[in-house]
Amino acid sequence: MRFLEAEIDLKALNHNFQRIKNIVKSVDPACRIIPIVKADAYGHGAVEVAQFFEKQDIFAFGVAFFEEAVALRQAGIKSKIIVLFDREVEGIFEYNLTPVIFDFKQVEALSKEAVRRNTSLSVHIKVETGMGRLGIYDAPCETIRKIAQLPNIKIEGIMSHLSEAKNREWTAEQINRFKEIQRCVKALGINPVFHITNSDGIAYPEALFDAVRPGLMLYGYCQNFDSDLRPCMTVKTKMVDIRKLPAGSPISYGRTFITKRDSLIGVIPVGYADGYFRKLSNRAWVIVRGKKAPVIGKVCMDLTMIDLTDIPEAKVDDEVIVLGESGNEKVTAYDIAEWAETIPYEVLTSLGSRAKRKYIKEEET
């Protein structure tokens, strides 16, 4: 068993959801929320997060792939599940899922299966507006018209995806493209749920349409709203050893850190096998006894060294905060992302997916 623990604060999760709900409902009381729980709910645990949100006022869950949806159904999740990036056919019907359509051949196969089963299937159609990833890009309105004529297929939603929501000008261009498709679809006599916005896009009232798809914002990070959000994940471990080393001692592989003074060196049982990136070597900080301690030397597969010289009271078995806060100090996913030259999404999914999770319920906080 690894020595990394992730505490998931469900009270913070609820706070963030209510904040999102207040924002979108103030613009349009009918706007719906689709919590994104793909990638194991960004490392927070998809089943537990979905169980929590199923008690809330949501439209559906969003997952990346069929297997993620199956895991939710097998855990007893009854709500609508939208599968974003998968061509699965038979399993869509067996598990009562809602597929996202991104080309015509995909929906033809689903239509044939629906006819064979003598049932109908609700789908969401993804259109290309500037992401360049998945979505119908060639004559989207004509393709949507053809899909509408397929037997046993019901178009429940039309969606797209914002590729650079922090860029107001480009986002406005994507929104305008989506609005053109919306006008065309409504002219066909189809009135589905339109949705394009992710967490960052919630800052634009004109991007909300009929539903929003928050992901990172649910879990406490979104630079447009950070002051209103609470990070849900705290990642911690325990000190496995403390060593007194003289000045001139090399630390870890490659001797990238040499002590400049007589030093107190802590060893924590966390490494890149736990999702603690090697890029954090000689860059990151952790928190011990309410004080920050720097990571020194190369991050190893299973172990990382920290300089405790300025925290002489530190002891073996002390709690070490890798992500989170203690006293007046904190380490955020933004901090780790900056040190590792990545993004907070990767920080959360990497640490959260490998750690043993503990869920803190509202009555426990």
Structure tokens at 154: 């019901």
**Residue 235: is it exposed, middle or buried by C-beta count within 10 angstroms (0-12/13-18/19+)?**
buried
Structure tokens at 143: 């393709």
Averaged over 158-163, what is the pLDDT? 97
DSSP assignment of 156-214 = EEEE---S-TT-HHHHHHHHHHHHHHHHHHHHTT---EEE---TGGGG-GGG-TTEE--
Q: What is the arrangement of strands in the sheet containing 193-195, beginning at the earlier edge strand?
A: 32-33, 211-212, 193-195, 153-159, 121-126, 98-101, 81-83, 61-63
Q: Check: CB of residue 250 under 8 Å from CB of residue 263.
A: no
pLDDT at 365: 42
Averaged over 235-250, what is the pLDDT? 97
Dump pLDDT digits (tens) for 112-155. Answer: 999 999 999 999 999 999 999 999 999 999 999 999 999 999 99
Q: Can you tell me the distance from the alpha carbon of 22 to that of 247, in angstroms, rounded to the nearest whole number? A: 56
Of 166, 186, 253, 260, catalytic: 253
In CATH terms, 233-331 corresponds, of 3.40.50.300, 2.40.37.10, 3.30.420.40, 3.40.50.800, to: 2.40.37.10
Q: Check: CB of residue 305 under 8 Å from CB of residue 296.
A: yes
Q: Architecture of 10-221 per CATH?
A: Alpha-Beta Barrel (3.20)
Structure tokens at 84: 């974003």
Q: Check: CB of residue 303 under 8 Å from CB of residue 2.
A: no
pLDDT at 224: 78
Collapsing DSSP to helix, strand or coil, 143 comes out as: helix
Is a pLDDT exceeding 50 seen at residue 288?
A: yes
pTM of the model as a whole: 0.94
Averaged over 76-100, what is the pLDDT? 98
pLDDT at 86: 97
Of 38, 126, 292, 298, catalytic: 38
Structure tokens at 257: 């850190």
Collapsing DSSP to helix, strand or coil, 112 comes out as: helix
Confidence of residue 3 (pLDDT cuts 50, 70, 90): confident
Is a pLDDT exceeding 60 seen at residue 321?
A: yes
DSSP state of 54: T
pLDDT at 1: 52
133 is in an annotated binding site: yes
pLDDT at 362: 64
Arithmetic mean of pLDDT over the chain: 96
Structure tokens at 354: 């490998």
* 253 a catalytic residue: yes
Averaged over 205-216, what is the pLDDT? 97
Q: Check: CB of residue 187 under 8 Å from CB of residue 156.
A: no
Q: Check: CB of residue 5 under 8 Å from CB of residue 238.
A: no
pLDDT at 361: 86
* Residue whose C-alpha is closest to residue 40's, from 355, 363, 333, 286: 355
Confidence of residue 283 (pLDDT cuts 50, 70, 90): very high
Burial 276-285, CB ≥16 within 10 A → b, else e: bbeebbbbbb
pLDDT at 363: 56
Is a pLDDT exceeding 80 seen at residue 228?
A: yes
Q: Can you tell me the distance from the alpha carbon of 222 to that of 220, in angstroms, rounded to the nearest whole number? A: 7
Type of residue found at 275: G
Dihedral, CA of residue 66, residue 352, residue 79 and residue 133, to nearest 10: -50
Structure tokens at 34: 């689709």
Rounded to 5 degrees, what angle do the CA atoms 149, 154, 157 make? Answer: 115
Is a pLDDT exceeding 60 seen at residue 364?
A: no
1 is in an annotated binding site: no
Measured between alpha carbons, how far is residue 64 from residues 154, 216, 266 in Å? 21, 15, 40
Sequence spans of domains, the chain? 10-221, 233-331
pLDDT at 268: 98
